[in-house]
Amino acid sequence: MKDWENFVTACMACQRCELHKTRKNVVIGRGVPKRVPLLFVGEGPGEQEDIQGEAFVGRAGKLLDLLLEALSFDPDHYYIANIVKCRPPNNRVPTDAEMEACLPWLRYQVKAIKPSILVCLGSTAARAIIDKEARITKLRGLWIEREGNLSIMPTYHPSAVLRDIHKRQDFYLDMKKVKERLDEIVHKGEGEH
């Protein structure tokens, strides 16, 4: 746990990109920082996240929470993080340079949490984690297997679902697939830590 505390301290002092100049808080994530089978990764903090210092607490986070609750996800089985830890001004998409500066922090989180499943919430996360040319409309709902027994599922960001009602069913079906895979992992004992 001492390593995680050092990670948090280093994150809080980070000045690797220009986003540190306008942030109120560094947003590390949400959940108990321990080994869990599922890691959700979004784009970056929004206004509420910047104010509260916690990931996915605004409107998009509330929608995600409702869905996770409806599908009976156990909060002890997942952690939520973002590509960038500081809010981009006016909630704009982070630049490539900002994402590159912040990716070592996310890599540390992945290494510490050791998820079996990683869900990319939105195109920014998919491009940063899967491939710079990744298209969420083509990849969403598909499992991508990586070395180290990591299954990646790209899906829509909850904010995109809030903006476009037509994405709701696909988002729900993607999360249902994630829950089924998570249940298999937990049932096998791989997810219990």
Tokens 């990109």 locate to: 17
- Whether residue 192 is contained in a domain is answered as no
Q: pLDDT-derived band of residue 2, with 50, 70 and 90 as boundaries? A: confident
The model's pLDDT over 107-142, given as tens digits with 9 standing for 90+, comes to 999 999 999 999 999 999 999 999 999 999 999 999
- Whether residue 22 is contained in a domain is answered as yes
Range of the domain at 74: 2-187
The pTM of the whole model exceeds 0.85: yes
Residue 192 predicted with pLDDT over 50: no
Radius of gyration of the chain (CA): 16
pLDDT, mean over the chain: 95
Question: Crossing angle for the helix pair 2-12 and 96-113, nearest 10 degrees?
Answer: 170
Percent of the chain with pLDDT over 70: 97
For residues 169 and 167, give the distance between their C-alpha atoms in angstroms, rounded to a whole number.
Answer: 6
The model's pLDDT over 11-43, given as tens digits with 9 standing for 90+, comes to 999 999 999 999 999 999 999 889 999 999 999
What is the domain-level CATH number for residue 167?
Answer: 3.40.470.10
- φ/ψ bin of 17: left (φ > 0), alpha (ψ from -120 to 50), beta (otherwise): beta
- Whether residue 193 is contained in a domain is answered as no
The predicted pLDDT at position 188 comes to: 86
